[in-house]
Amino acid sequence: MQKVTREALIEKAASLLANGTVTSVLAWKKGEFDYDITPALFTGEEEMHAELVWNDFCGANLSKYLVAKTKKAEGKILVFLKSCDTYSFNQLLTEHRFDREKVYAVGIPCCGMADIDKVKAISGDGIASIECAEKIKVSTIYSEGAAEMDLNDVLLERCESCKSKKHVAYDELMGEEGEILDSHRFDEVERLEAMTPDERFAFWQEELSKCIRCNACRNVCPACTCEVCVFNNPASGVESKAPVNDFEEKMFHIIRAFHVAGRCTDCGECSRVCPQNIPLHLLNRKFIKDMNECYGEYQAGETVGQRAPLVDYTLDDLEAGEVFERGGDNA
């Protein structure tokens, strides 16, 4: 797949700004470090030349930011969407979370994004600068010269198991359109399913014990756009600032996964941002896999206006207890 260059993005944005189609541009800029790329709103061309970033670390899914930004913006916002981001975009539209008229969506091809932890594993800590070209060149404060690596060797897990290079929503597409891929995204879920309950318990105990309740997963999640989160709402009965007991984190993650079940597009942002590297996407994928198997294939965000499995039913759905029997014994 041909990469679209940063310059092409800026040129596109500048021309749309100039002809009045949009009044602002939602894209990415550098944060504290070269690999720490964050969403940013631009209104002028110079600003974009100075700050706009488009490289192998632009994992952030911009769809979610439209909810807040469109409420404030006067005119249209241009947003750059990678193929996986377009699913979130549609899902948010299904839920009426922003006004489609206020957005000009430009689809951009994506070859996958880099996982900074994998980069560090090669380069070592203390990254001073990163250059993204044919190869990713990383120099650290501890070593002379730069470590070089292929993007394909340091892909984020979610990009390794990319479900779709196809954009399901856009006003305009840059570069060539990709296809829905036969990803192996459920392999890891299946591996866990094949374990004994004790092994699974041990696995999750290990993983979830790392949780520090920083809420990064929730804050980045494009399905978590609630005006007030239940975990911040005293009337919900599950509000918590500090955990009461050890179960609290567990409950947080189950409830969060349940809340986004049927709405989660499997964009993988939760795992990408987790500072503790908990594979949170596995919880979401477990729900997706179960729903696919029990109620028929469903991809949230594929089109606008879909009815998700949990707000639907058929008269002969399987019983709650039967969910374990489908497809042989997985215990």
Partner 1 sequence: MQRIGVFVCWCGSNIAGTVDVKQVAKALENEPGVVYSTDYQYMCSQAGQDMIVNAVKEHRLTGIVVCSCSPRMHEQTFRKTAAKAGLNPYMVEIANIREQCSWVHKDMIVGTEKAIILGKAAVAKVNLNAPLTPGESPVTKRALVIGGGIAGIQTALDIADAGFEVDIVEKKPTIGGKMAQLDKTFPTLDCAACILTPKMVDVAQHEKIRVFSFSEVSEVSGFVGNFEVTIKKKARYVKEDICTGCGACVDKCPVKKVPNEFNLGMDNRKAIYIPFAQAVPKVATIDPNACNMLKAGKCGVCSKVCTAGAIDYTQKDELVTEKYGAIVVATGFEPISMEKFDEYAYSQSKDVITSLEFERLTNAAGPTQGKLLRPSDLKHPEKIVFVQCVGSRCASCAEKGKEYCSKICCMYTAKHAMLTRDKYPDTDVTVFYIDVRTPGKNFDEFYRRATEDYGVKYIKGMVGKIVPEGDKLHVQGSDLIANEQVHIDADLVVLAAAIEPDKSARPLATMLTASMDTNDFFTEAHPKLRPVESPTAGVFLSGACQGPKDIPETVSQAGAAAAKVIGLLAKDKLLGNPCVASSDENMCNGCSSCANVCPYGAITYEDKEFRMPDRTIQVRRIAKVNPAVCQGCGCCTVTCPSGAMDLRGFTNSQIMAEVDAICK
Partner 2 sequence: MQVKEFKPLIVAFCCNWCSYAGADLAGNNRADYPADVKIIRLPCSCRVNPMFILKAFQKGADGVILCGCLPGDCHYTSGNYYTRRRMAMLFSMLDFLGIERERTRVEWVSAAEGAKFAATMNDFVATVKALGENKRLEDLRCKK
Is residue 227 a contact point for partner 1 (CB under 8 A)?
Answer: yes
Q: How far apart are CA 87 and CA 108, in angstroms?
A: 13
Of 139-147, 156-164, 202-210, 216-224, the segment contacting partner 2 by CB under 8 A is: 202-210
Task: Give min distance, CB of 290 to partner 2, in A.
Answer: 5
Q: How far apart are CA 95 and CA 99, in angstroms?
A: 11
SS3 content of the chain, % helix, strand, coil (to 5): 40, 15, 45
Task: Give min distance, CB of 201 to partner 2, in A.
Answer: 3
CB 30, CB 55: distance < 8 Å: no
What residues between 160 and 199 interact with partner 2 by CB under 8 A? 189, 192-193, 197-199
CB 58, CB 4: distance < 8 Å: no
Q: Measuring CA to CA, how many Å separate 193 from each of 197, 282, 325? A: 8, 11, 13
Give the contact letters, 285-314, x = binds to partner 1 (CB under 8 A), - = no: ----------------------xx-xxx--
Residues binding partner 1: what is the number (CB under 8 A)? 27
Question: Given the complex with partner 1, which of 11 and 99 has the nearer CB atom?
Answer: 99
Q: How far apart are CA 75 and CA 21, in angstroms?
A: 8
User: Quick one: tokens of 303?
Assistant: 């089109």
C-beta neighbour count of 166 within 10 angstroms? 15
Q: Looking at 20, 96, 182, 320, which residue binds partner 1 (CB under 8 A)?
A: 96
User: Quick one: tokens of 60?
Assistant: 């952030």
Q: Measuring CA to CA, how many Å separate 110 from each of 58, 78, 101, 149? A: 10, 18, 25, 18
What secondary structure letter does DSSP report for 126?
A: -
Q: Looking at 14, 124, 173, 203, which residue binds partner 2 (CB under 8 A)?
A: 203
Q: Write down the residue that tokens 């944060």 correspond to.
A: 31
Is residue 236 a contact point for partner 1 (CB under 8 A)?
Answer: yes
Give the contact letters, 257-286, x = binds to partner 1 (CB under 8 A), - = no: --xx--x-----------------------
- Identify the CA nearest to 86 among candidates 164, 9, 151: 164
What residues between 15 and 54 interact with partner 2 by CB under 8 A? none
Is residue 74 a contact point for partner 1 (CB under 8 A)?
Answer: no
Is residue 291 a contact point for partner 2 (CB under 8 A)?
Answer: yes
Q: List residues near partner 1 by CB under 8 A.
A: 71-72, 94-97, 223, 225-230, 233, 235-238, 259-260, 263, 307-308, 310-312, 315
Binding residues for partner 2 (CB under 8 A): 189, 192-193, 197-206, 208-209, 211, 230, 236-238, 244-251, 254-255, 257-258, 261, 283, 286-287, 290-291, 294-295, 309-315, 317-324
